[in-house]
Amino acid sequence: MLPLVTITLIVLLIAGSIVVVTISQAREQAQLKAVRDARTLANRYRRLKRILNEVPDQYLAKEIRLLLLERSIDTLNEIKQIKGKEFQLQSQLDEDKQLVRQLKGTTKSEKAVPVVDEKKAEEIRKLLRVVINFIINQQKKGIITARSANLHINSSKYYIVKLKADLHENRANAAMKIGKLRTAIHHYNSAISALEVMKNVPAAQDAILALRKKINKIKKVVNKTSTTTASKTAKDKEWDNYMEDDGWKKKNTYDD
């Protein structure tokens, strides 16, 4: 009887040890998963905020900006649920909620931020491509309709093109300020070429029309300047010829 009890106790001890080890491993795995999940969510939050902070308002529709902010808030709430009392991003969460309230309560457009650096423009284009993927994911999750998704995807594609056009237009404006009119015309034409990729979009058509009007206005100034210069050159040449004329010299000698 005693050996049987001993064996039973040993079996129970082994089983208990296995249970303890299993529970311990499960807890450890759960903790590791929580750490990984929190890290993944934190990376997502940083990506969302980078888009919001680095893409100028003129290239990001209000509806998309709201979606990005709301997704940022959801992400922070998920991190908060994982971290509990160790959550350290409450100020960012409050700030994002305030930004949503402000954005929903305003109808004014933010002042456009000129992009004059090619490297900066390329970074913004990359972020806009990320925005397109974000919109696709939101549509797949049922957060926005397919119609809204297509609308915002097309507008984001247009903004990618417009960014290149704006870069040329800003260079043209800079050339205008220092009187380099022909250089300005060149950059305005480059802006039109960039926009023609999306020429079926009404906004692109309006922008192309506005740029052509600017070019025509500058050409009138250039032609007027060229005519004035040509006239002045002709008069100067006529005077030089007169000064070099031998008859004029003889007349001066005679008069003396």
Residue with tokens 């990618």, as numbered in its chain: 160
pLDDT of 152 reads 92
Do 57 and 109 contact (CB within 8 A), yes or no? Answer: yes
Residue 174 lies in a domain: yes
**Could you tell me the pTM of the whole model?**
0.73
pLDDT of 255 reads 45
Residue 133 lies in a domain: no
92 and 155 together in one domain: no
Query: Is 80 exceeded by the pLDDT of residue 10?
Result: no
**Residue 76 belongs to what domain range?**
31-104
Tokens of 114: 């000129």
Work out the pLDDT band at 223, boundaries 50, 70, 90.
confident
Do 89 and 79 contact (CB within 8 A), yes or no? Answer: yes
> Rounded to whole angstroms, what are the CA distances from 231 to 224, 225, 226, 237?
11, 10, 8, 10
Residue 235 lies in a domain: no
Residue 75 lies in a domain: yes
Residue 244 lies in a domain: no
Assign residue 175 the CATH number of its domain: 1.20.58.80
Query: Is 80 exceeded by the pLDDT of residue 236?
Result: no
Q: Please provide residue 178's backbone torsions phi and psi, each rounded to the nearest 5 degrees.
A: -105, 15
In the chain, how many domains are there?
Answer: 2
Which has the closest alpha carbon to 155: 59, 44, 48? 59
Mapping DSSP to helix (H, G, I), strand (E, B) and coil, where does residue 249 land? helix
152 and 219 together in one domain: yes
Asked which of 51, 69, 104 is the last residue of a domain, the reply is 104
Tokens of 74: 């959801």
Work out the pLDDT band at 226, boundaries 50, 70, 90.
low
Residue 177 lies in a domain: yes
Residue 249 lies in a domain: no
- The string of pLDDT tens digits covering residues 172-205 is 999 999 989 999 999 999 999 999 999 888 999 9
Residue 120 burial (C-beta neighbours within 10 Å; 0-12, 13-18, 19+): middle
CA–CA dist 109, 100 (Å, integer): 15
Asked which of 51, 71, 104 is the last residue of a domain, the reply is 104
- The string of pLDDT tens digits covering residues 44-60 is 999 999 999 999 989 99
Residue 25 CA to chain centroid, in angstroms?
Answer: 46
212 and 152 together in one domain: yes
pLDDT of 220 reads 87
> Rounded to whole angstroms, what are the CA distances from 146 to 131, 133, 142, 151, 157?
15, 14, 9, 9, 16
CA–CA dist 51, 127 (Å, integer): 6
